[in-house]
Structure 1
Amino acid sequence: MTAPSAPGRARTLRISRVIDETHDARSIVFDVPEADRERFAYRPGQFLTLRIPSDRTGFVARCYSLASSPEHDEPLMVTVKRTTDGYGSNWLCTHAVPGMELDVLPPGGVFTPKDLDADFLLFAGGSGITPVMSILKSALARGTGRITLVYANRDESSVIFAGELTDLAARYPHRLTVIHWLESVQGLPGRAHLQALATPFLSYDVFVCGPRPFMDAVSDALTTAGVPRSRLHVEVFTSLTGDPFTEVVQTPEDTTSAGETVPVEVELDGQTHALDWPVTTTLVDLLLSKGIQAPYSCRDGECGSCQATLLKGRVTMAHNEVLSDDDVAEGYILGCQALPEPDGTEPIRIEF
C-alpha cells in the first residue's frame, strides 16, 4: 500500500521492518533516503508525526515517539502500542507491513536532554518507555552519567524492550539500574512508593512519560520530594485534530501590514533575531514569514513541537493542550499559539 505523495516538509518513507515487541506493541522501522537524512536527523526523546489512512476522514495525523538512538546511528524506529479507542495505534498494529509507505513529518518535540553527561532518573509507564529508551541508549553511548530507570507495567508480558533492557543493564552495571514495577505483583504505584523510589536520586535530571494518571502521580510525588521544576521533564501527547501536513506558505506581506507591532528578540539555533511582532500574528507565523525555520508540527497547540521559553515580556496563547499551569508559570510558551502583549518599549525576549 502506498501513501499519497506529501508536499513541503513531509516525506513518504518506506517501512523496512515491523517488530512484534509484545502482544499489543509493535516497532516500525523506516528507510530514510540519503537525500533526506539531514531532514530526519533527530535528538533522543523526539517523535515523528505519521499520516495514517482512514476510510472516514481520509487520514488522521498521530505522533509516535522514536525508540531508536541517534548516537547509535540506528534506523528510524517508532514503537506503537494498541489503545482501546486509538484509531492510529490499532491501524498501525494491524496493517503496517514491510514495504508499505507512509507520509512522515520531520522529528519534533522538546522531551530531550540538553546534556547527555548528566545523571538521569527516568520514569516510564507502558509505551512511555519509547522516548525514554531513546534517551537511555543515547546517554549510555555518548554520556558519562548514571541512569536509573523505573518502568511500570501491568504484568511481565507487557514489558516492552524487556530483553534489550536486560542486556543494557548487564553491559553497563555501574551506570544503569533498571527497576521494574508490575501492577500484577505490587499493585498501582502510589505517591509514597514513587517518592521512596525517587529520593536517592533527587539531584538527577528527571524525564517522565506514560499514561496521564501515571505522569501526574510521578510529577506530584517528585515535586513533593523536592525535585526542582527546572529538572522535571514530562512528555504529553494529545490526538491531533488539525492537518499538520498542510504546507504553510508565509510571505513577508502577511505580517508587514498587520497593524500594531511589538519588538521581539528570538534566540533560535544559536542566532538572535530582532523583529517587529504584529499583535495579530503568532510567533511561528512571524518567523516563517521572515524565512526563519521555526520548529513546529501541528500549529494547533496540541503537540509541543514549538515550545519555547519566555525570558522577558508578556504573551498570550490562543490555545494550549500541552503545557500545564506550572509550565506556563515557569515561562514556557507554544510558539504556534503565542501572541504578543504590549508591555512598554523593551522588546519581548524568547528562546527556543
Structure 2
Amino acid sequence: MESPSTRSHSLEVIDVIEETAEAVSVVFSRPEGETFAYLPGQFLTLRVPGTPEDGTSWAPRCYSLSSTPAVDPHLQVTIKRTAGGYASNWLCDNAKPGLVLESLTPGGRFIVSDDPDELVLLAAGSGITPVLSILRSELTGSSASITLIYANRDRNSIIFDSALAQLEATYPNRLRVTHWLESERGLPDAAGLRSAFPASTITTSAYLCGPTGFMDAAVAAAVAAGIDRARIHREAFASLTTDPFDEPSLAPDSSNDVATVTVTLDGTTATLPWPTEQVLLDTLLAAGLDAPYVCREGNCGGCAFKLLDGEVRMLINDALDDYEIGSGVRLACQSVPCVDEITVEFD
C-alpha cells in the first residue's frame, strides 16, 4: 500500500486479541527502519477504509495505544465497538493478521509530565486503553503508589480484567484497583469516586480518560481530594471531519500585517515572520518546520504549544480546558497573532 503522505507509515497487523464481546486489541509490527517511538498514554491515528455508501474513501480515527514502550516490542491499540461507529465496528470485524493500515506517528499530550509520588488513574470503558499503558509504565519505571478507579457497565464489559488482577497481585504494596460497576452502583458520581481516593499529598497526580460526564465527575472528585489542579490531566477525543493524512492546504497569506514569532521546536529555535491573518501552524509548515498536528480543526490538541510571551487569539478551541488556557497552552492550528512579538515552545 502506498503511503498517502510523507507523515504516514504502513503498519501490519500481526495479532488480534478478543478482550471482551465488544472490544479487541489490534497488535501491529513496528515499521522496518522506523523506531516509531511513543510515550505511554499517546495514540495512533489510523486510516480505516471508508464506504461507497457514505461517499468516503477513508475514515481517519484516533485510537490510544494500550501497549507500553518499555515493556512491549510491538504496537497495540484497543478498540471498543460504539453504536453507529463505523470505524470501530469495521476494525472489530475486519482486523486480522496481514491487514496493512496507514498510521500517523504517535501523538498526544496525555502523558505523565510531572513526577508524582502517588498516582490516581480514573478510567471508564475504553478509557482504560491509555491508562493501562501509563499504569504499566509507572509500575515498572517508577516507585509511585497507584490507585486505579475503573468504571464499566458490568463485570463482563471490563477490558483487561485479568491483566489488571495480575498487576494488582504482582504489585500488592503499590497498586490498588477499584472497579465501579454501573449494574451495581449506577453512574459514577464525584462523591462516590472521591471515596475511592487515597489520602492526598501535594505530589499526587490524577490522570482521567472516559466520557465527558465521567471526567467531569472525576475532576470534581480529584479537586475535593485536595489534588492540585495543575496535577489533574484529562484525555478526550473528538471525531475527525477531515483527513489528516492528506498533505495540508496552507491558507493563503492575504495580510499586509506581519508579526514575528520565535518558536522552539524539537530543540531548535527559529524566528519567523507571521502574517496576522494566518494561523501559526500554516506559518510553520510553510517555513518547512515539522510542526505536530492531527485534525487541524481545534478539537484534538495534537498541535498544542506553550505561549511564553506575547498574545494570540484562537479561532476555535474544543480541546483545551480553562486551566490549560490559564497555563499558556494554545492550539497552533487555530492561533493568530494579536501583538507584534510572540515567543512559543512545542514540547
In structure 1, distance between residues paired with 2:190 and 2:30 = 43
Does the CA-based 8 Å contact 1:64-1:79 persist in structure 2?
Answer: yes
State the partner residue of 2:342.
Answer: 347
Aligned counterpart for 2:291 among listed residues 289, 294, 302: 294
Find the residue that maps to 1:198 and give its secondary structure: coil
The answer to whether the 8 A contact 1:116-1:139 is kept is no
> Is residue 2:334 matched to residue 1:337?
yes
Whether contact under 8 Å (2:314, 2:335) holds in the other structure is yes
Structure 1 match to 2:213: 213
Q: In the TM superposition, what whole-angstrom CA distance separates every residue of 1:24-74 from its partner, at most 9, and x where no partner exists?
A: 00000111222122xx21011000011111212111111000000011143
Distance 2:188 2:18 in 1: 27
Shift of 1:98: 1.1
Measured in 2, the distance between the counterparts of 1:229 and 1:275 equals 34
The alpha-carbon deviation at position 325 of structure 1 amounts to 3.5
- Which residue of structure 2 aligns with residue 163 of structure 1? 162
Q: CA deviation at 1:7?
A: 2.4
**Aligned match of 2:273:** 276
- Tell me whether 271-280 or 291-300 shows the greater mean CA deviation: 271-280
3-state SS of the aligned residue for 2:70? helix
CA distance in 1, matches of 2:305, 2:342: 16
- Number of the residue aligned with 1:49: 45
SS at 1:79 equivalent: strand
Shift of 1:312: 2.5
Aligned partner letter, 1:265: T
Separation of aligned partners in 2, 1:221 and 1:8: 43
Aligned CA distance change for structure 1 residues 205 and 267 (closer, same or farther; 3 Å): farther
- The residue that corresponds to 1:148 in the other structure is 147
Question: In 2, Cα distance between the equivalents of 1:329 and 1:51?
Answer: 34
Q: How does 1:81-100 map to 2 (within 5 A)?
A: 81-100=80-99
Q: What TM-score do you get using the length of structure 2 for normalisation?
A: 0.92
* Distance (whole Å) between structure 2 residues aligned to residue 180 and residue 228 of structure 1: 24
Q: Which moved more, 1:19-28 or 1:196-205?
A: 196-205
Matches within 5 A, 1:1-352: 5-37=3-35, 40-55=36-51, 56=54, 57-115=56-114, 118-198=117-197, 200-201=199-200, 203=202, 204-248=204-248, 258-342=255-339, 346-352=341-347
**Contact 1:19–1:27 under 8 Å retained in 2:** yes
* Structure 1 residue 351 displacement after superposition: 4.4
| Matched residue type, 1:273 | A
What SS does the corresponding residue of 1:129 show, helix, strand or coil?
A: helix
> Percent sequence identity over matched residues?
47
Partners in 1 of 2:163 and 2:23 — Cα distance?
A: 15
Higher helix share: 1
- Provide the C-alpha distance between the structure 2 equivalents of 1:324 and 1:115, rounded to a whole number of angstroms: 18
Q: Could you say what secondary structure the match of 1:213 adopts? A: helix
Return 131-140 or 173-182, whichever deviates more.
173-182
Report deviation, 1:117.
6.2
Question: Does the 8 Å CA contact 1:122/1:208 hold for their aligned counterparts?
Answer: yes
1:248-302 CA-partner distances (Å, limit 9, x unpaired): 3779xx76x8532222232333333333322122222222223322111121212
Tell me the amino acid that sits aligned with residue 192 of structure 1.
A
Which shows bigger deviation, 104-113 or 265-274?
265-274
| 1:301 counterpart SS class | coil
In 2, distance between residues paired with 1:243 and 1:36? Answer: 23
Q: Is 2:116–2:205's contact at 8 Å kept on the other side of the alignment?
A: no
Deviates more, 1:332-341 or 1:219-228: 219-228
Shift in alpha-carbon separation, 1:117–1:191, aligned structure 2, 3 A: closer
1:314-334 deviations in Å (ceiling 9; x for gaps): 111122221234432332211
Q: Residue 50 and residue 183 in structure 1: after superposition, are their counterparts in 2 closer, same or farther (change >3 A)?
A: same
Q: Deviations over 1:212-245 (max 9, x none)?
A: 2111111123234443221111101011001101
Q: Structure 1 CA distance, aligned partners of 2:123 and 2:13?
A: 26
Gap regions ≥5 residues in structure 1: none
Kindly indicate whether the alpha-carbon contact (under 8 Å) linking 2:66 and 2:130 is maintained by their aligned counterparts in 1: yes
CA RMSD, 1 decimal: 2.2
